[in-house]
Amino acid sequence: MQVLFDNLKKADAELRKASNVRLREAAKECANDLAQRLRVSAYGAPAPQTQLVARSIKVKKSDRFPVVAIGGSKKVGRAYKSRKGRGTVRASAASLLFGVENGDYHDRFAARNESGYWIKPTVKDFSTSSQAIGNYQKAVLKILDDAGVL
């Protein structure tokens, strides 16, 4: 009986490993497609800082789900004099992200755009028109079929 359980564990581990490899490949393809679309979309956005923030777009490696990160601590733009006496500093991509996507938080410069300028519209278009999402779904269905679930 123990031999049976050992063989089942081994088969289960091999299935998980193969499934993870397929999912990671499909997720990477999907995320790369979205990241490329976001970079292209950034050049059509109205705020000039958008191109600075777009430099921070990264595809998270080795994940089973498509993950694209925007923002972060990457320093972008020109250096400016700190109000707190720390000399010159540069803004992080994260500190500019909200403004370039939705407009000014305090409505000082322009009207807010709750539907987004470049990230939300691009992701919405991507979710309806990308072939990469279909490929990711096919990979999931193939894994389920190979496992005998479907």
pLDDT by residue (tens digit) across 123-144? 999 988 888 888 888 888 888 7
Compute the average pLDDT of residues 102-116. 67
* Choice between 9 and 46, residue whose per-residue pLDDT is larger: 46
**Phi, psi for residue 52 in degrees, rounded to 5:** -65, -45
Percent of the chain's residues with pLDDT above 90: 21
pLDDT for the residue 56: 93
pLDDT for the residue 4: 47
Query: Which sign does the torsion angle of CA 11, 12, 17, 20 carry?
Result: positive
pTM score of the predicted model: 0.78
- Is the pLDDT score of 65 beyond 90? no
Compute the average pLDDT of residues 80-86. 75
Q: What is the mean pLDDT of the chain?
A: 81
Per mean pLDDT, which range of 76-80, 99-103, 126-130, 146-150 is the poorest?
146-150
* Choice between 44 and 103, residue whose per-residue pLDDT is larger: 44
Tell me how far apart the alpha carbons of residues 141 and 123 are, in angstroms, rounded to a whole number: 23
Task: Give the residue among 42, 43, 46, 56 at the shortest CA–CA distance from 109.
Answer: 46
Compute the average pLDDT of residues 116-128. 89
pLDDT for the residue 39: 95
